[in-house]
Amino acid sequence: MKKSWLLLIGLVFITCNTSEVKKTAPLEVVKAKDTTQVVKADVVKKETLVFKVQIAALKMPNKRFSKLEGTAVTQENGLTKYRLGSFNSYSEARKFRNSIRSTYRDAFVVALKNEVPVSILEAITD
């Protein structure tokens, strides 16, 4: 009986110690190609043309004009200019100018293309 136990224990050790090496197929290394494309788009700047009513152009800033609701204050040629409204057409701007003429007698319509002053004639013919 001792021999059978020894034989059984020996078989267990022998079977446990046998190392089986499993061979795996070698992995194929695949390099990814760069698929990123650079797309250049031409940015088209839309020209904006607006008409405003200028009520004053002064060498020194004036708080009274600055406090008016909807006043656009700009610096041009060493002058502080005060403008009201923003209209898509010259006729709308003229109507507004006429409505404030009793308060601001020297008010006049200015045309701005991309925030740069242009002549009224040029603005109307575009």
Instruction: Write out pLDDT tens, residues 6-63.
Output: 666 766 666 665 555 566 667 666 666 666 666 666 666 678 999 999 999 999 999 9
Whole-number pLDDT of residue 23: 67
Residue 94 lies in a domain: yes
The single-letter DSSP state of residue 26 is P
Give the chain's end-to-end CA distance (angstroms, integer). 116
Cross-strand partners of 79: 76
Residue 34 lies in a domain: no
Whole-number pLDDT of residue 67: 86
- Residue 68's pLDDT band (boundaries 50, 70, 90)? confident
How large is the average pLDDT for residues 66-76? Answer: 90
Structural domains counted in the chain: 1
Residue 53's domain spans which residues? 49-125
Residue 4 lies in a domain: no
Whole-number pLDDT of residue 112: 95
Residue 102 lies in a domain: yes
**CATH code of the domain in which 121 resides:** 3.30.70.1070
To which H or E segment does residue 123 belong? helix 120-125
Residue 120 lies in a domain: yes
Residue 37 lies in a domain: no
Residue 111 lies in a domain: yes
What Cα–Cα distance (Å) separates residue 98 from each residue in 51, 93, 107, 109?
14, 9, 9, 10
Residue 15 lies in a domain: no
Whole-number pLDDT of residue 6: 64
d(CA 110, CA 85): 11
Whether this model's pTM surpasses 0.75: no
